A and B are shown apart, each in its own frame.
Chain A
């Protein structure tokens, strides 16, 4: 049972444009959501997070939007840069358990 889903395996955008990565979840008990970025042969690197009591969190070029009624979150990267090319994972947790449930990942390619 895939509780966190990233339905787009890949996304390609032009440098300078907006990248929008999407994530859907099924468990209404999730109260904290995170986005990680991963390069090949490296571990995931934390990007940005959002609590379920908020609907938006912004950090520089990265903004995460949460729509609780739709059980959907998205990561916006503006403007996209070639160095943003990586695999992006969304993750969710319920309560203060420390257990993160990850989506399958979306590979972002930003073309110069």
Chain B
């Protein structure tokens, strides 16, 4: 079954304690991306990756890091989480498209609370 998996699904942590949210896809997609969802703001892109070892900032990258060492995995790292990073996080993947025709597959989401 084609899918994007994220772990953990729920996480409560304290300010400053480093954490990693994992993301994995089994569709051999080149493109992967992280979004955060906040009430009233929709989803906003944090980072994206066009392929292995190729990553770039999205609209709200501050306080986050990513890496793409393997095609299937795209972890999101919070080196020193702060309460304003409390949010619902989504990982997504897709094939590259010439005209935008390809659906982005979303993971189930990770609900993060930073106290």
A associates with B: no
B interface vs A, CB < 8 Å? none
